[in-house]
Amino acid sequence: MDALIANMVSQVKKGDQEAFEGIVDLFKDKIYRHCFRMVGNGHEAEDLAQETFLKAYRNIDKYNNDFKFSTWIFRIATNLCIDRLRKKKPDYYLDAEVPGTEGANIYSQLAVEDPLPEEVVTENERRNELQQEIMKLPEKYRTAIVLKYVEDLSLEEISQIMDIPVPTVKTRIHRGREALKKVFQMVVKTR
């Protein structure tokens, strides 16, 4: 897989735009999911994921083999998401009505893959609840938790993506888990 990606990257560097299509196809779900977890809404996640690939394309000459390509592109996505989050009020996403819609909030905009009708309610509820809890985490903990548990990346990779030392990554994961546990406990108790 790494050799395949390296080959595509070198084609793109030579100006072969079609080779970039392969890269987008390979990483689009991971990057979209990561953005979705970070910003909590489908439209913005799509926008940010597109921006990630465009930025990767524009900067492909700067990519070298110091990092895995996946680490490099996750780093671009993470930085774009954090920039976006910082431009917003922190509580904007929680239950905010989406501008230009009637009463639709972000939870009604989750991408769903046609589940059976009877599964819809409970599945969506659980999913929304979890996303809601993730959105409550401070962004630095959220990033670490999402990279570790949603994307299953190593501490070393997360350290490179977030540009912080491994022990700091660990601390953030621990605190993130702790925070996630607390908010989840409240959800469980109020049921």
Work out whether the CA dihedral 181, 183, 186, 190 comes out positive or negative. negative
Q: How far is the CB of 98 from another protein (least distance, A)?
A: 16
As a whole number of angstroms, the distance between CA 131 and CA 37 comes to 7
Which among 42-50, 73-81, 136-144, 156-164 is the span making contact with another protein, rule CB under 8 A?
42-50
Quick check: 32 binds another protein (CB under 8 A)? Answer: yes
Quick check: 174 binds another protein (CB under 8 A)? Answer: yes
Q: How far is the CB of 157 from another protein (least distance, A)?
A: 14
As a whole number of angstroms, the distance between CA 34 and CA 40 comes to 10
List 97's β-bridge partners, or say none.
105
The candidate with the shortest Cα–Cα distance to 68, out of 165, 168, 159, 171, is 159
The candidate with the shortest Cα–Cα distance to 88, out of 30, 28, 132, 135, is 135
Place of tokens 């639709």: 104
Q: Binding residue for another protein (CB under 8 A) from 8, 9, 48, 53? A: 53
Quick check: 99 binds another protein (CB under 8 A)? Answer: no
Work out whether the CA dihedral 81, 82, 87, 90 comes out positive or negative. positive
Quick check: 156 binds another protein (CB under 8 A)? Answer: no
Task: Give contact residues for another protein (rule: CB under 8 A).
Answer: 15-18, 20-21, 24-25, 28-29, 31-33, 36-37, 42, 46, 49-50, 53-54, 57-58, 110-113, 126-127, 130, 133-134, 145, 149-150, 152, 155, 170, 173-174, 177, 180-181, 184-185, 188
